[in-house]
Amino acid sequence: MRRATVLALILAACRGAPDVEVVPMPGVEKSPPWIAPTPPPPAIASYAIQATLDVDTHQVRGRETLTWVNTGKDPVKDLAFHLYMNAFKNEDSVFWKESRGKMRGARATKGSWGWIEVNAISVDGGPDKTAEMKFPGPDETVMEVPLETPVAPGATVKVTMLFEEQLPVVFARTGYKGDFHMIGQWFPKIGVRVGEPGQEKWHCEPFHLMSEFFADFGNYDVTLTVPDTHVVAATGVLVEARDNQDDTRVLRYKAEGVHDFVWMADPFMEIVKASAHTENGPVAVWVYYRPAQREFAERHLAAAVKTVEWLSKLVYPYPWARMTVIDPPPDASSGAGGMEYPTLVTTAGDSVFFPEGVRLPEFVTVHEVGHNWFQGILASNEVDEAWLDEGMNEYIDNYLMDKIYSEEASGIEWGPFRASMAETRLVSIAAFRELPDIIAEKSYEFADYLSYGGVTYSKTAAAMATLQHAVGDQKFLAALHAYGKEMGFKHPTEADLVRVLERETGQKLDWFLGPALHQTGAADLRVRDISCRKKRTSRGVFGRGAKRKVVDAEPEPDAPRRCEVLIENIGAVPVPVDVEIAFADGRRVMKHWDDHGQGPRWHRFEIEDAQPVVEVVIDPKKRVELDDGGIYRSMRAEPEDEAVDTAAAHAQFWTQSAMQVLGL
């Protein structure tokens, strides 16, 4: 048992906590952090950090040296840094005003504040500049440091800082809960220079509620000092480990070609391990969990392995040696679960309500691991174009769930219940036509979190799945692979994605992507009408003078039917769609409306057949996910007899009479 005072033992017994033991020394990993045969991307922002965690006060003290390269065409006169932890400092922060202490169903703990203070700043070994640092924004989540000597284009600057911070009770991706510590967004982090060459400026937004992160690639060398009672997981691979005489342990991690670093410390975590096989070699996949969560850990592990393997083929070969998944304790999951970082993610969903076959836990893991492509490799600006990360990732996640499990039951396969993951997700959000925001909108400009989630995640995923159907599965997936290979380890934008998709599919896509990305609403496909009559000779008076005759022929009993099927799209986005037409004898045929938005927003199918049409179903295979038609996507035909005509005439008479009486 760990050395402890009698008081500490009594307190532990009172709260029912297990005894804290010294954990075995972790083994240093033999694999380098970067396993791809090609070199990592050019390092723009690299960090060497030494940090110490005090598990009693939940504070971190650190020393950071940033090596930053000016890749622009202008000299840089000041440096801009994110101090994300100050979002939790007080109720005047931008994050707090926007969240009111609530995020993704979790609430901040009353009185638990987090903060970060920079106590020393030295530029290229010069004197302390803390007296010159500024907070130019509406809160203290952005810090600027003026430079006496501008950083010339192509030149490098080294900035050393001493900082200390207080972790909050876990909320909004970071903090502690009991003995569990999830330490993210924790060090002073430089912004990104964006803009046309010669007109670059800092992109370093305050920390918003509905924004995540944007940073340049670099290499990380991080040394952590923690109690020797705690299991630690971190970005990258462990390259050095040693014990001190004061019951602490020093762990050194290295990561290459990443744009963030995060770590976890907890005394009770165990690990399950497996390997994912990629063209770059085996990737070690580890899931950290507490013993009571072992069953779920195995499910997360299987999902993570398959995700690494599939996305390495579909988008870009995974270039790192490790993929780490943290399964937070249940009481910390709402604050720490479901978040992505390079080579390390947190998952969620461990609940009796999600037994084997109800695959929300697996989906969370697939989604978060998937972010190592759509954000970890394809490092889009999550603040300004969140959909390129969250939405594109959500799209590929639904595809992966179908491939890993089964297309009909990728979301639920429990007893008699079957549902795809796309269907399961779509029923949980408001109809697209009810959401007031467009996809291509800055994250912090959305009306609320419901609209942000429904549009950025689900609507984008539905749009991409619909476009895949429109251009063809093979062609679209090949284009996505080309996008990954061309834009990997860059900061792709909407224009980059559209350019690659159009080039690889060989067609202009503005007819769809324009309204899908830049208008509210979605497709709204409906069956408007079905009508059938027996084919017969036209009746009436024909000819002139002596040749005039009256034709009043009735159709033959076995005469074929002439049917008309009218479908419409009253939504904002045109989409090609398949339409299934069923006949009275049970036959079903497939028709297609190739709607590209160039003609009317309706289409009429004229059908001649021995049997009448009895039912019409739009998109029977549910490939057009960007559709709000719902129950109107199918219709049964009315019986074809005179009684129907008589009933319709009576209904029309009473409707017109009511409108006249009411003045409508």
Instruction: Round to whole Å and give the CA distance between 243 and 131.
Output: 37
Report residue 549 CA to chain centroid gap. 71
Instruction: Round to whole Å and give the CA distance between 356 and 8.
Output: 40
Instruction: Round to whole Å and give the CA distance between 532 and 536.
Output: 12
What average pLDDT does this structure show over 453-482? 96
DSSP 552: -
**pLDDT over threshold 60, residue 13:** no
Helix (H) or strand (E) segment spanning residue 65? strand 59-69
Pair 32, 257: CB distance under 8 Å:
no
pLDDT of 602 reads 96
**How sure is the predictor about 643, in pLDDT bands with cuts at 50, 70 and 90?**
very low
Q: Within 13 Å and on the Cβ side, how many CA atoms surround 576? A: 13
Burial (CB count within 10 angstroms: exposed 0-12, middle 13-18, buried 19+), residue 580: middle
* Neighbouring residues of 179: CB distance < 8 A, sequence distance ≥ 6: 17, 20, 55, 230, 266, 267, 268
Tokens 């929300």 belong to which residue? Answer: 360
CATH code for the domain defined by 42-267 = 2.60.40.1730
Pair 627, 525: CB distance under 8 Å:
yes
Pair 327, 296: CB distance under 8 Å:
yes
pLDDT of 322 reads 98
**pLDDT over threshold 50, residue 642:** no
Single-letter residue type at 545: G
Instruction: Round to whole Å and give the CA distance between 312 and 308.
Output: 6
Instruction: Round to whole Å and give the CA distance between 500 and 478.
Output: 10
Tokens 């380098």 belong to which residue? Answer: 32
Residues in the chain: 664
Question: How many angstroms separate the Cα of 413 from the Cα of each of 352, 410, 542, 654, 661?
Answer: 15, 7, 65, 49, 55
Report residue 449 CA to chain centroid gap. 14
Which residue, among 513, 258, 233, 500, has the nearest Cα to 371 in the 3D structure? 258
Phi, psi of 338 (to 5 degrees): 70, 55
**pLDDT over threshold 60, residue 654:** no
Per-residue model confidence as pLDDT tens digits over 490-510: 999 999 999 999 999 999 999
**pLDDT over threshold 50, residue 17:** no
Question: How many angstroms separate the Cα of 122 from the Cα of each of 106, 130, 133, 154, 161?
Answer: 39, 8, 11, 21, 7
Question: How many angstroms separate the Cα of 252 from the Cα of each of 22, 28, 60, 263, 540?
Answer: 19, 9, 16, 12, 94
Pair 286, 325: CB distance under 8 Å:
yes
The matching CATH number, chosen from 1.20.1370.20, 3.20.20.70, 3.40.50.300, 1.10.390.10, for 374-522 is 1.10.390.10
Beta-bridge partners for 265: 181, 232
Q: What is the mean pLDDT of the chain?
A: 92
Question: How many angstroms separate the Cα of 55 from the Cα of each of 92, 112, 171?
Answer: 28, 15, 17
Pair 128, 120: CB distance under 8 Å:
yes
Which residue, among 179, 248, 183, has the nearest Cα to 222 in the 3D structure? 183
Instruction: Round to whole Å and give the CA distance between 373 and 192.
Output: 20
Beta-bridge partners for 162: 63, 120
Which residue, among 95, 102, 190, 105, has the nearest Cα to 145 in the 3D structure? 190
Single-letter residue type at 420: S
Which of 29-43, 566-580, 649-663 has the weakest average pLDDT?
A: 649-663
Per the model's pLDDT, the better-predicted residue between 649 and 361 turns out to be 361
Phi, psi of 478 (to 5 degrees): -65, -40
Per-residue model confidence as pLDDT tens digits over 372-413: 999 999 999 999 999 999 999 999 999 999 999 998 899 999
What average pLDDT does this structure show over 152-160? 98
Instruction: Round to whole Å and give the CA distance between 258 and 43.
Output: 9
Question: pLDDT over 70 for what percent of the chain?
Answer: 93
Pair 353, 363: CB distance under 8 Å:
no
DSSP 406: -
Per the model's pLDDT, the better-predicted residue between 16 and 471 turns out to be 471
**pLDDT over threshold 60, residue 14:** no
Which of 76-85, 414-423, 438-447, 448-457 has the weakest average pLDDT?
A: 414-423
CATH code for the domain defined by 525-662 = 2.60.40
Instruction: Round to whole Å and give the CA distance between 490 and 370.
Output: 17
Rounded-to-10 torsion of CA 38, 39, 41, 44: -170
Question: What tokens were used for 18?
Answer: 């297990």
> Packing angle between helix 460-471 and helix 390-404, nearest 10 degrees?
60
Per-residue model confidence as pLDDT tens digits over 500-536: 999 999 999 999 999 999 999 999 999 999 999 888 7
Pair 255, 33: CB distance under 8 Å:
yes
**How sure is the predictor about 640, in pLDDT bands with cuts at 50, 70 and 90?**
low
What average pLDDT does this structure show over 556-566? 88
Tell how strand 156-166 and strand 540-542 pair up. unpaired
pTM: 0.90
Q: What residue spans define the domains of the chain? A: 42-267, 374-522, 525-662
DSSP 35: -
Instruction: Round to whole Å and give the CA distance between 656 and 659.
Output: 5
Which of 139-148, 480-489, 618-627 has the weakest average pLDDT?
A: 618-627
Per the model's pLDDT, the better-predicted residue between 126 and 555 turns out to be 126
**pLDDT over threshold 80, residue 312:** yes
Matching fold, domains 374-522 and 525-662: no
Per-residue model confidence as pLDDT tens digits over 257-288: 999 999 999 999 999 999 999 999 999 999 99
Which residue, among 289, 325, 285, 338, has the nearest Cα to 308 in the 3D structure? 285
Phi, psi of 36 (to 5 degrees): -70, 150
Question: How many angstroms separate the Cα of 418 from the Cα of each of 232, 405, 421?
Answer: 39, 12, 10
Per-residue model confidence as pLDDT tens digits over 63-100: 999 999 999 999 999 999 999 999 999 999 999 999 99
**pLDDT over threshold 50, residue 10:** no
Question: What tokens were used for 97?
Answer: 């005003």
* Neighbouring residues of 415: CB distance < 8 A, sequence distance ≥ 6: none
Question: pLDDT over 90 for what percent of the chain?
Answer: 83
Instruction: Round to whole Å and give the CA distance between 39 and 319.
Output: 10
CA-based torsion, 160, 182, 356, 465: positive or negative: negative
pLDDT of 646 reads 42
pLDDT of 20 reads 80
**pLDDT over threshold 60, residue 568:** yes
Instruction: Round to whole Å and give the CA distance between 461 and 402.
Output: 14
Per-residue model confidence as pLDDT tens digits over 185-217: 999 999 999 999 999 999 999 999 999 999 999
For residues 289-298, one letter each, b for 16 or more C-beta atoms within 10 angstroms of the residue's C-beta and e for the rest, the string is bbeebeebbe
pLDDT of 656 reads 52
What average pLDDT does this structure show over 629-644? 74
Helix (H) or strand (E) segment spanning residue 402? helix 390-404
